[in-house]
């Protein structure tokens, strides 16, 4: 039963990831991040993503009046987003930066709205992903003793 | 008689005579006394009198004479001895003084006389000077007039104004009745009346240039008096009055070429204009010499002013022309830029948009090929595959060509086996050749090295293209390929005489000749072969599948390999021989390779050993920093992550092998950090390798990074594999052989 749930959780996670890739919310860079996660840094991805959210709060909540400061923050945000593979967020940042360079206030406002929307969506989906991950780890941790016992039994019985 | 001690006068006293003598003596004495007084008076009055001593002498002489005569008055009657003694004394004195005076006068009188001659001389001189001054004054007047005229003439650069002003000023200065200028016509055979003083709109009057009077004037630089009846002087309708004297002078029309440096303008010019000046009629005035001189000088000045005006006109015309050309060039440049931009846009589109579906088609059709298919379906799929492969090749070719022309294509140098290259080419071409029943032979000279250093893929491409062309255009017979080392005395291309293959210690030149027994090429068409998109055989166009790009690309690849490619053919039906020479490195001698087998494929000997190697990552974006650090840790490095350039420079030591700098940070000069790191290690031989991480793909960033001294540039986002392969390259060779 627990074993099945691990598989089901993994399938759920893969399905969610596939959906996010298909929608273009995430790109290959996220896969790279996942590759970096191993025994020495088991929570690498979640750590990076947490730092990312932490940094981005600063930008998304800010009032903007000064286009230059906006541009600086935008660059940072763009860099972070491309480092973790948040493709759609990054694209909106690009549009936002173009609008701010042209001092196009309505354009900026529109882009900011879109940015907030995309960011929230990403955040929700990633939280969901991590939740499933956590559950899977828990389920896997629970599973091991059962499997080991089964394995221990089998050779004896063979 | 009494003894009175008197002296008797020598003669008897006659009363009347004595009375008269008495009176005369008295008057003489008076006169004698008054003369010196007058002299003294007037000399005192005059300012300068040089002979005072003489005057004193003279005065003394006269006074004594007077005294003598005065004393004589007493001697007419009886007089005492004292009187006689006084008389005698005075007479003696008088005698002495008068003799002295007489002697003195001998000296003085010639002097006094010469004063008179001097006075005459000075008067003559004064008269002469007066005359000369009169002359000079007239000359100065003339000079002033000339200066004023010149100033008027030269103050404008407009030809028309110059000439008009000349005539007006001359007329005013000399008081002329009429002044006219005749200019030569375009044909040079006639003189045309161009400007006159009094008539505002001169009638179009011409005279032939060969008149004797005109020749006479043109042959001398002086002003010449001419007859008022000559055709050039008949400027006014003939009146009842006697026309005044007429003078004509030539005005040379100079060109720029007449002004030699350091020389006065050569008057070898044949073009003259004629200036005619008419004195007022009925004035009995005559032409004076100074007036003629004035006219000549003015004529010269007019010539210079006219030439200046001509030069100015020419330079204005040239400037207008240049401006027009500038505008045209600007327009052409903008058009060219637009064209280049359009081409770049097109290429950008081609690059991504066309390749993606292409790859999809090829991948999916090859997948389809591996499934269960009916024979007709299989045939269809094979056709699809073949066509899409051709299309993909075409796209790649066009892209390669533009990258080649751009100069951004770089050869991928590596070690490869020459034998296997030729064998592969042979294997690829044999099937097609055998279908056409052509033989293919390959002969490789024994002195060819087994391995070489160069771009294997592109060399194969060139070889295949050349051999493919040979097969394509041969209907019967066969192809023979021969490869050997090019020597300096090998036969060269007659059209590229300065291409000398000079082998060195590290390089040798490979020469490949592909001879076919095909249709041959018209020697006239040979130069066009290497031009893009030109097909020289319209008849075979249906069977030839090429786009005309193949040979052009081959030529560029061969040029990149510092070689030469050319085609020889004796004519139609006589077969063709294609020859190319390329420069290849010798394995083991050059410093680019240490091992004989070094392939570029990753995953060579498993994971390269990075354990414990120290590196530094600088990025002010915490997410990026963490990602890069995680990447490098995953690969086994010992990573130190810093957030600022100052900290980076501070903590970097010689133990760190690589420093990664993020160069997207605005307001932050990562280049400066690189420079400072280099400076810190300028004295040590071992310095960390500096790599830039950037999201910008343009060349500018790459060039700036390399210019500042960074060892390589990596494009973010970096995958694990890419990082691994780049770092293993780096640490093995010490620099990035290939940086993307």
Best probe of the A interface among B621, B629, B664, by most A CBs < 10 A, is: B621
CA distance A8 to A25: 23
Considering only CB atoms, A83 lies closest to which of B623, B666, B667, namely B623
- Judge whether residue A65 has pLDDT over 70: no
- Judge whether residue B3 has pLDDT over 80: no
Report pLDDT for B200.
63
- Judge whether residue B12 has pLDDT over 80: no
pLDDT tens-digit series, residues B104-126: 888 888 887 888 888 999 999 99
| Residue/partner pairs of B169-172 with CB below 8 Å, 24 or more apart | B170/B277, B170/B295, B170/B298, B171/B197
Best probe of the A interface among B630, B633, B634, B641, by most A CBs < 10 A, is: B630
Q: Output phi, psi for B690, to 5 deg.
A: -110, 120
Considering only CB atoms, B624 lies closest to which of A35, A41, A79, namely A79
Residue whose C-alpha is closest to residue B151's, from B306, B276, B305, B291? B305
CB B704 within 8 A of CB B671: yes
Residue whose C-alpha is closest to residue B660's, from B622, B624, B690? B690
Of all residues in chain A, the percent with pLDDT exceeding 90 is: 3
Nearest chain B Cα distance for residue A83, angstroms: 5
Q: Is the ipTM of this complex over 0.90?
A: no
The helix (run of H) or strand (run of E) holding residue B293 is helix B289-349
Q: Which of B9-18, B303-312, B682-691, B704-713 has the lowest mean pLDDT?
A: B9-18
CA distance B60 to B37: 11
pLDDT tens-digit series, residues B166-177: 888 888 888 888
Which domains, ranges and CATH numbers included, belong to chain B? 154-257+268-312 (3.30.450.40), 410-488+503-533+547-586 (3.30.565.10), 614-738 (3.40.50.2300)
Report pLDDT for B543.
39
- Judge whether residue A45 has pLDDT over 80: yes
Q: What is the DSSP letter of B580?
A: E
Of B354 and B444, more confident = B444
Considering only CB atoms, A41 lies closest to which of B630, B666, B667, namely B630
Q: Which of A30-44, A80-94, B46-60, B247-261 has the highest mean pLDDT?
A: A80-94
Average pLDDT value over all residues in chain B: 79
Q: Is B611 on the interface with A (CB under 8 A)?
A: no
pLDDT tens-digit series, residues B477-528: 889 999 988 876 666 666 666 666 677 778 888 999 999 888 877 777 777 7
Report pLDDT for B332.
95
Contact: B720, A47; criterion CB under 8 Å: no
CB B663 within 8 A of CB B670: yes
- Judge whether residue B432 has pLDDT over 60: yes
Contacts of A39 in chain B (CB under 8 A): none
Please state the domain extents for chain A.
1-33+42-142
Contacts of A36 in chain B (CB under 8 A): 627, 630-631, 633-634, 720
Residue whose C-alpha is closest to residue B27's, from B88, B60, B59, B73? B73
Q: Mean of the pLDDT values across residues B196-222?
A: 79
Of all residues in chain B, the percent with pLDDT exceeding 70 is: 82
Q: Which of A68-72, B106-110, B290-294 has the lowest mean pLDDT?
A: A68-72
Q: Output phi, psi for B414, to 5 deg.
A: -165, 170
Pairing mode of beta strands B478-485, B439-444? parallel
Fold annotation for A1-33+42-142: 1.20.120
CA distance A59 to A100: 15
Nearest chain A Cα distance for residue B331, angstroms: 29
Contacts of B628 in chain A (CB under 8 A): 83
Q: Mean of the pLDDT values across residues B563-582?
A: 86
Q: Is B9 on the interface with A (CB under 8 A)?
A: no
Nearest chain B Cα distance for residue A15, angstroms: 23
Q: Mean of the pLDDT values across residues B218-247?
A: 77
pLDDT tens-digit series, residues B609-640: 677 788 899 888 788 888 888 888 888 888 89
CA distance B563 to B507: 12
Q: Mean of the pLDDT values across residues B290-297?
A: 86
Contacts of A44 in chain B (CB under 8 A): 630
Residue whose C-alpha is closest to residue B222's, from B254, B245, B248, B253? B248
Of all residues in chain B, the percent with pLDDT exceeding 90 is: 7
Find the radius of gyration of the CA atoms of chain A. Answer: 21
User: What DSSP line would sit under B11-36, residue for residue?
Assistant: S---HHHHHHHHHHHHHHHHHHHHHH
Which two structure tokens, joined as six digits, stand for B671? Answer: 């280049």
Q: Mean of the pLDDT values across residues B140-150?
A: 82
Residue B494: helix, strand or coil by DSSP? Answer: coil
Residue whose C-alpha is closest to residue B715's, from B731, B684, B737, B739? B739
Give the pLDDT band of residue B533 (cuts 50, 70, 90): low
Residue B710: helix, strand or coil by DSSP? Answer: coil
CB B217 within 8 A of CB B225: no
Q: Is the bond preceding residue B158 a cis peptide, omega within 30 degrees?
A: no
Report pLDDT for B161.
82
Report pLDDT for B684.
65
Give the pLDDT band of residue B325 (cuts 50, 70, 90): very high
Contact: B666, A72; criterion CB under 8 Å: yes
Which two structure tokens, joined as six digits, stand for A39? Answer: 């025994």
CB B553 within 8 A of CB B465: yes
Considering only CB atoms, A75 lies closest to which of B633, B666, B717, namely B666
Q: Is B471 annotated as a binding residue?
A: yes
Burial class of residue B458, CB neighbours in 10 A (0-12, 13-18, 19+): buried
Give the pLDDT band of residue B542 (cuts 50, 70, 90): very low
For chain A, helix, strand, coil in percent to 5 are: 85, 0, 15
Q: Where are the beta strands (DSSP E) in B345-450?
A: 414-417, 439-444
Report pLDDT for B683.
67
Give the pLDDT band of residue B592 (cuts 50, 70, 90): very low
Q: Mean of the pLDDT values across residues B48-69?
A: 78
The helix (run of H) or strand (run of E) holding residue B274 is strand B272-278
Q: Is B623 on the interface with A (CB under 8 A)?
A: yes
Of B21 and B735, more confident = B21
Q: Mean of the pLDDT values across residues A4-27?
A: 85
Residue whose C-alpha is closest to residue B549's, from B564, B537, B576, B531? B531
Q: Output phi, psi for B332, to 5 deg.
A: -60, -40
CA distance B74 to B618: 153
Phi-psi domain of B90 (left: phi exceeds 0; alpha: psi -120 through 50; beta: other): alpha
């Amino acid at each position: 039963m627990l074993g099945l749930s691990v598989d089901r959780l993994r399938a759920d996670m893969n399905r969610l990831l596939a959906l996010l890739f298909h929608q273009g919310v995430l790109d290959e860079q996220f896969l790279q991040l996942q590759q970096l996660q191993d025994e020495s840094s088991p929570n690498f991805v979640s750590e990076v993503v947490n730092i990312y959210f932490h940094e981005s709060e600063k930008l998304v909540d800010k009032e903007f009046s000064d286009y230059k400061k906006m541009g600086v923050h935008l660059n940072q945000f763009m860099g972070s987003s491309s480092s973790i593979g948040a493709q759609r967020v990054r694209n909106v940042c690009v549009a936002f930066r173009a609008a701010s360079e042209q001092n196009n206030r309505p354009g900026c406002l529109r882009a900011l709205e879109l940015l907030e929307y995309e960011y929230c969506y990403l955040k929700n989906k990633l939280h969901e992903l991590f939740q499933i991950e956590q559950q899977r780890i828990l389920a896997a941790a629970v599973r091991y003793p059962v499997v080991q016992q089964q394995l221990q039994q089998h050779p004896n019985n063979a | 008689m009494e003894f009175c001690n008197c002296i008797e006068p020598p003669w008897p006293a006659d009363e009347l005579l004595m009375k008269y003598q008495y009176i005369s003596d008295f008057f003489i004495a008076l006169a004698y006394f008054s003369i010196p007084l007058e002299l003294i008076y007037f000399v005192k009055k005059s300012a300068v009198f040089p002979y005072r001593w003489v005057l004193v002498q003279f005065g003394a002489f006269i006074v004594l004479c007077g005294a003598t005569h005065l004393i004589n008055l007493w001697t007419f009657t009886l007089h005492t001895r004292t009187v006689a003694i006084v008389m005698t004394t005075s007479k003696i004195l008088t005698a002495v003084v008068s003799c002295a005076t007489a002697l003195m006068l001998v000296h003085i009188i010639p002097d006094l006389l010469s004063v008179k001659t001097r006075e005459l001389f000075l008067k003559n001189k004064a008269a002469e000077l007066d005359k000369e001054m009169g002359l000079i004054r007239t000359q100065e007047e003339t000079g002033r007039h000339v200066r004023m005229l010149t100033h008027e003439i030269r103050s404008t650069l407009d030809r028309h104004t110059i000439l008009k002003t000349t005539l007006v000023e001359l007329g005013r200065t000399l008081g002329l009745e009429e002044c006219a200028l005749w200019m030569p016509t375009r044909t040079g055979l006639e003189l045309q009346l161009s400007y006159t003083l009094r008539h505002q709109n001169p009638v179009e009057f011409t005279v032939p240039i060969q008149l004797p009077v005109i020749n006479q004037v043109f042959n001398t630089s002086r002003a010449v008096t001419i007859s008022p009846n000559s055709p050039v002087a008949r400027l006014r309708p003939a009146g009842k009055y006697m026309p005044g004297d007429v003078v004509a002078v030539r005005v040379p029309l100079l060109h720029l070429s007449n002004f030699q440096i350091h020389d006065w303008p050569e008057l070898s010019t044949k073009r003259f204009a004629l200036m005619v000046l008419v004195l007022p009629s009925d004035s009995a005035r005559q032409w004076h010499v100074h007036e003629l001189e004035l006219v000549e000088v003015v004529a010269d000045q007019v010539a210079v002013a006219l030439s200046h005006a001509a030069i100015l006109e020419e330079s204005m015309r040239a400037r207008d022309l240049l401006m027009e050309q500038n505008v045209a060039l600007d327009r052409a440049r903008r058009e060219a830029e637009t064209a280049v931009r359009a081409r770049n846009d097109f290429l950008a589109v081609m690059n991504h948009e066309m390749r993606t579906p292409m790859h999809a088609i090829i991948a999916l059709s090859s997948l389809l090929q591996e499934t269960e298919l009916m024979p007709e379906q299989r045939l269809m799929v094979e056709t699809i595959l073949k066509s899409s492969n051709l299309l993909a090749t075409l796209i790649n070719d066009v892209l390669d060509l533009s990258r080649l022309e751009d100069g951004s294509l770089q050869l991928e140098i590596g070690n490869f086996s020459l034998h296997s290259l030729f064998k592969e080419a042979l294997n690829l071409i044999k099937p097609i050749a055998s279908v056409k029943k052509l033989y293919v032979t390959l002969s490789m000279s024994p002195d060819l090295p087994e391995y070489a250093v160069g771009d294997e893929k592109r060399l194969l491409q060139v070889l295949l293209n050349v051999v493919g062309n040979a097969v394509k255009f041969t209907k019967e017979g066969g192809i023979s390929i021969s490869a050997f080392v090019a020597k300096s005395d090998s036969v060269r291309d007659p059209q590229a005489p300065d291409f000398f293959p000079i082998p060195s210690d590290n390089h040798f030149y490979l020469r490949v000749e592909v001879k076919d027994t095909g249709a041959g090429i018209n020697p006239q068409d040979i130069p066009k072969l290497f031009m893009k998109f030109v097909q020289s055989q319209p008849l075979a166009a249906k069977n030839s599948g090429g786009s005309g790009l193949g040979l052009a690309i081959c030529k560029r690849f061969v040029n990149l390999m510092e070689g030469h490619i050319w085609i020889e053919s004796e004519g139609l039906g006589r077969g063709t021989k294609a020859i190319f020479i390329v420069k290849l490195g010798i394995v083991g001698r050059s410093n680019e390779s240490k091992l004989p087998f070094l392939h570029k494929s990753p995953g060579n000997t498993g994971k390269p050993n990075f354990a414990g190697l120290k590196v530094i990552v600088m990025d002010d974006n915490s997410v990026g920093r963490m990602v890069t650090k995680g990447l490098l840790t995953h690969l086994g490095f010992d990573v130190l992550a810093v957030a600022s350039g100052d900290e980076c420079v501070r903590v970097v030591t010689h133990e760190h092998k690589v420093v990664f700098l993020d160069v997207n940070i605005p307001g932050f000069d990562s280049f400066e950090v690189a420079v400072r790191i280099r400076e810190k290690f300028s004295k040590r031989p071992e310095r960390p390798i500096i790599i830039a991480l950037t999201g910008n793909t343009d060349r500018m960033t790459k060039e700036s990074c390399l210019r500042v001294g960074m060892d390589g540039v990596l494009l973010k986002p970096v995958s694990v594999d890419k990082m691994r392969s780049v770092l293993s390259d780096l640490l093995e060779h010490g620099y990035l052989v290939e940086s993307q």
